[in-house]
């Protein structure tokens, strides 16, 4: 028969050397487990680090900024682009000296008037600067503007009468307010256009170099699609004049000899609304 003694904790710590002989080696005691708890950084409020702490990884949000000439020009460019919903990138240049203003990082700029009220190379802009709901000042400045847009360039020699494809062209950003005015933006659909002049390689493509392709010729027999009021019919007709995509031509019904105006859809068909 074996005997076990239950001893107070203070005796166990004091008599640990002698208690070992009373413990049966066959008894398994549970091993305590420890759980490490972590706290999400999203729940930790910012605190001031103690002296000597590593500050290299701390990001400090500036409480104030200097509204320099370069910063103001950048803001004006963004505001002008937003005001006129301009594609591409607007760059503004102040044409006279600007005195730096100290504002908070919450400032904003609001344009009240542009003269002329459009995107053009030179304009006179009236704007206000607000900071945390307070008016800092109202200003009037003459500004030069550049409007950079990707436009089409010829990638090889192109000849008059050619219908253009993407293989014939490449795109480059240019200031369309200067000598590149009238250039064709690279986002344009030009599949229904043809060249009216010869172009050398690396020449910007301009709208006055293009004309609509004639899809329907005078005297051509075409398909006529008519719809309206729940009715949809097709018939044959004869074009009485040349027509381009999206344009309107006079057509004669081959069955009734009636003449009507129809919209050109493609090389072989037109559409009319009943």
pLDDT value, residue 108: 92
pLDDT value, residue 78: 95
Give the β-pairing of 101-104 and 107-115. Answer: unpaired
Kindly report whether the peptide bond that precedes residue 116 is cis, defined as omega within 30 degrees of 0: yes
Ordered mean pLDDT values, 10 residues apiece, the chain (274 residues): 46 42 45 44 41 54 84 95 93 95 93 94 96 94 95 93 87 90 89 91 93 90 88 90 90 91 90 86
- The total number of structural domains that make up the chain: 3
> In the listed set 147, 177, 196, which residue is the last one of a domain according to the structure?
147
pLDDT value, residue 201: 93
Residues 105 and 160 occupy one common structural domain: no
Q: Output phi, psi for 232, to 5 deg.
A: -140, 115
* CB-CB contact of 161 with 195 (8 Å): yes
pLDDT value, residue 157: 93
Within a domain: 60? no
Question: CA-CA distance, 53 to 60, in Å (whole number)?
Answer: 15
Question: CA-CA distance, 240 to 167, in Å (whole number)?
Answer: 35
Is this model's pTM higher than 0.85 or not? no
Q: What is the CATH number of the domain that holds 219?
A: 2.30.30.760
Residues 198 and 255 occupy one common structural domain: no
Residues 90 and 79 occupy one common structural domain: yes
Residues 198 and 224 occupy one common structural domain: no
* CB-CB contact of 92 with 109 (8 Å): no
Tokens of 159: 């000849």
Beta bridge partners of 221: 238
pLDDT value, residue 57: 55
> In the listed set 178, 194, 212, which residue is the last one of a domain according to the structure?
212
> In the listed set 192, 212, 232, which residue is the last one of a domain according to the structure?
212
Q: Which domain holds residue 104?
A: 65-147
Residues 136 and 182 occupy one common structural domain: no
Beta bridge partners of 140: 126
Report the SS3 class of residue 217.
coil
Q: What one-character DSSP code corresponds to residue 15?
A: S
What are the strands, taking DSSP E only, across 155-247? 169-175, 193-195, 210-212, 214-216, 221-228, 231-239, 243-244
Residues 112 and 157 occupy one common structural domain: no
Within a domain: 17? no
Within a domain: 37? no
- CA–centroid distance for 125 within its chain: 25
């Amino acid at each position: 028969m074996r005997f076990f003694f239950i001893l107070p904790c203070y005796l166990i710590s004091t008599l640990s050397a002698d208690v070992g002989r009373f413990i049966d080696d066959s008894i398994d005691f549970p091993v305590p487990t420890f759980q490490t708890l972590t706290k999400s950084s999203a729940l930790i409020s910012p605190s001031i680090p103690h002296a000597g702490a590593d500050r290299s990884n701390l990001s400090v949000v500036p409480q104030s900024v200097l509204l320099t000439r370069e910063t103001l020009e950048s803001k004006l460019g963004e505001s002008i682009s937003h005001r006129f919903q301009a594609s591409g990138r607007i760059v503004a240049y102040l044409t006279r000296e600007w005195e730096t203003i100290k504002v908070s990082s919450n400032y904003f700029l609001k344009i009240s008037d542009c003269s002329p009220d459009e995107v053009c190379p030179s304009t006179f802009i009236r704007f206000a600067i607000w900071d945390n709901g307070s008016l800092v000042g109202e200003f009037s400045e003459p500004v030069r503007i550049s409007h950079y847009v990707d436009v089409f360039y010829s990638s090889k020699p192109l000849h008059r009468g050619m219908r253009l494809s993407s293989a014939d062209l490449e795109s480059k950003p240019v200031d369309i307010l200067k000598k590149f005015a009238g250039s064709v933006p690279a986002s344009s659909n030009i599949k229904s256009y043809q060249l009216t002049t010869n172009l050398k390689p690396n020449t910007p493509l301009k709208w006055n170099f293009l004309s609509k392709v004639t899809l329907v010729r005078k005297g051509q027999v075409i398909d006529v699609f008519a719809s309206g009021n729940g009715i949809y019919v097709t018939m044959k007709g004869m074009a009485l004049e040349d027509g381009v995509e999206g344009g309107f031509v006079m057509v004669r019904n081959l069955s009734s000899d009636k003449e009507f105006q129809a919209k050109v859809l493609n090389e072989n068909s037109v559409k009319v609304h009943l």
